Amino acid sequence: MTNALLELYQHNTWATLQLIEHCQGLANETLELTTPGTFGTIRETLLHLVGAEEGYFSIVTRKSPFEPIPDYPVRLDELGDVPVSLSELAERLRILGPRWERLAEDADAARREVTTQDGWRMPAAVPMAQAIHHGENHRSHVLSILGAHGLEVPDLQVWEYAFTTGQMTELQPASSA
């Protein structure tokens, strides 16, 4: 099961990075687009997605509810009104992604008890699973906004990830000679 969990985290990081990189090529006014039923603008959604992932990781790894992530930049939710670029979001994910992977390889991590800052106690498996679900949900919001406005929508499915990373190849049909 650990390998499947590791694969989910690798896909989660890959998909969010692909989306951010796609959006880096968009005009600023495009990043301010939204669509009813989504979280907010493209920019707000990406900021929220990465900030929440940092928060989930912090819940799972810290010793007390108010301890910051060790050896990590200040969390996005602690920056206040400082504007954050898409490049900064991508860099944060490049740091965070391998940390999620190490956590996924820790057989005991999911069973550890954790406490949130607002006083909820649970096994670490809950915020670990939420990080995957939350990422997928908000990436879909951005894809919906792009599609609703007639813009190119990148393929972020696990199938595309597996193909892109060389884990999946198409078999050549047998010749009928």
Q: 112 in a domain, yes or no?
A: yes
Task: Write a three-state SS string for the chain.
Answer: CHHHHHHHHHHHHHHHHHHHHHHHCCCHHHHCCCCCCCCCCHHHHHHHHHHHHHHHHHHHHCCCCCCCCCCCCCCHHHCCCCCCCHHHHHHHHHHHHHHHHHHHCCCCHHHCEEECCCCCEEECHHHHHHHHHHHHHHHHHHHHHHHHCCCCCCCCCHHHHHHHCCCCCCCCCCCCC
Q: Is residue 102 part of a domain?
A: yes
Residue-level pLDDT, tens digit, the chain, 177 residues: 458 899 999 999 999 999 999 999 999 999 999 999 999 999 999 999 999 999 899 899 886 666 666 666 666 666 666 678 999 999 999 999 999 999 999 989 999 999 888 889 999 999 999 999 999 999 999 999 999 999 999 999 999 999 999 999 988 877 765
Instruction: Indicate whether 170 belongs to any domain.
Output: no
Q: Is 56 part of a structural domain of the chain?
A: yes
- pTM higher than 0.85 for the full model? yes
Domain membership of residue 175 (yes or no) is: no
Q: Is residue 10 part of a domain?
A: yes
* Domain assignment of residue 147, yes or no: yes
| Residue 90 belongs to domain spanning | 2-164
Q: How many residues does the chain have?
A: 177
User: Is residue 174 in some structural domain?
Assistant: no
Kindly report the CATH number assigned to the domain that includes residue 96: 1.20.120.450
- If one counts the domains in the chain, the total is 1
